Amino acid sequence: MSRAPVIFLQALLAIAFLGGLFAQVVVIPTTAVDEVELFPPYESVRVPFVVSAIVFVACLQVLAVALGGMLHRAGKGTVSEAGTLMWTNIAIGAVAAGAVVLAWLFVYVTFAEIPSPADGMETLSLWMGSAVGTVAAIGVALLLVIGRQWLRRAIEQGAELEQVV
């Protein structure tokens, strides 16, 4: 793979990682405080939502690091080596952990008494979004598992080909 696209994509992943760090440290806590100031009954659900958001962003950051590692191997032309499976496993774990966070959020929103300043559409939207997000994350994790199987097969076939040659 050409070096320029790899560097560009790695730079984008680094920016996304740093943006996630900024969100974890500044945006998420500040937004939670602002929302509680606007509607004080949100205080009862502030901590679970903030923790969920920060952990979810951390899952995305781990995924960004794993993708960066895979891109690095692609840039060196070493994708078909066993070390790539480690980065694939990390990516699968990050997506699966994100699915767990979303599933927990879905269960929490389902059973918690969440106050609403209007007609409850915020809670319904959060409930639906966490449900759809959970299903989507599980689908992505399964696609990554299939990709890992293809990669493992390609690595095995490459090793067999080297023995023949």
Listed residue (8, 26, 23, 112) closest to 59, CA to CA: 23
Instruction: Supply the pLDDT for residue 14.
Output: 97
Q: Residue by residue, what is the 3-state secondary structure of 85-152?
A: HHHHHHHHHHHHHHHHHHHHHHHHHHHCCCCCCCCCHHHHHHHHHHHHHHHHHHHHHHHHHHHHHHHH
Sole residue written with tokens 């759809």:
132
In a domain, 114, yes or no: no
CB 134 within 8 A of CB 102: yes
Query: Quick one: what percent of the chain has pLDDT higher than 90?
Result: 75
Taking 90 as the threshold, does the pLDDT of residue 108 lie above it? yes
In a domain, 59, yes or no: yes
Structural domain boundaries enclosing 8: 3-109+121-164
The per-residue pLDDT for range 40-55, each reduced to its tens digit, is 989 999 999 999 999 9
In a domain, 116, yes or no: no
| Domain count of the fold of the chain | 1
In a domain, 42, yes or no: yes
119 is written with which tokens? 């007609």
d(CA 62, CA 1): 23
